[in-house]
Amino acid sequence: MRIILQRVSSAHVDVCGVTVGQIGSGLLALVGITHTDTSVQTAWMSEKLLSIRLFPDTEGKMNLSLNDIGGGLLIVSQFTLYADTSKGTRPSFIDAAKPEHAEPLFQELVQMVQERAATSSSSINIAKGVFGAMMDVHLINDGPVTIILETR
C-alpha cells in the first residue's frame, strides 16, 4: 500500500460536480493498493494516518498528530500511485491491484480509520472519495507538507 499524505488547510473531492467528501484543516490521503496488500497493511496504515506527527506544536516543530489536534482526514483512492514509468512514455499500471481486490481494502481502511477516530479524545472528521470514480480533488497544501507512506 502506498499513500501520498498531504497536510492541508482544507480539501474536498467532487464527483460529477457534487462534493462527496470535505475537510477543513487536516490531512489528504491519496491511497494506492497493490496485489499483495491485505488487512495487515490496512491496519498498519489506519494507525499511521491518525498518529503520524505532521502538525506544529507551540514551538513550530512537527510534533502533533491528528489524534492530538482533531481536524480532518480525506481519504481518496488513486490507483495511479502504482504507475510504472520505467519503459517508454506511457505508464503501466500492472502493479495496481484490480478493483475487486482494491475496493474492499480501501473500504476496510476507511472503516478502520473511522473506528480508531471514534475512540480518540479529539474530534476527527473522516471523509472519503468514491472508489473508481473520476474525481476532482481540491486542496490547499499547508506548508507545503507532503509525505510518502508505504508498506512493504
φ and ψ of 81, to 5 deg: -65, -15
- Where do the domains of the chain lie? 2-150
The secondary structure element, H or E, covering residue 115 is helix 99-118
Cα–Cα distance, 26 to 15 (Å, whole number): 21
DSSP of 63-79? EE-HHHH-EEEEEEE-G
Catalytically annotated residues:
78-80
39: its cell numbers: 488487512
**In this structure, what DSSP letter does residue 97 have?**
P
pLDDT tens, per residue, the chain with 152 residues: 999 999 999 999 999 999 999 999 999 999 999 999 999 999 999 999 999 999 999 999 999 999 999 999 999 999 999 999 999 999 999 999 999 999 999 999 999 999 999 987 778 999 999 999 999 999 999 999 999 999 97
Is the backbone peptide bond immediately before 56 cis, with ω within 30 degrees of 0? no
**Domain 2-150's class?**
alpha beta
Q: What is the pTM of this model?
A: 0.95
pLDDT digits (tens, 9 = 90+) for 98-132: 999 999 999 999 999 999 999 877 789 999 999 99
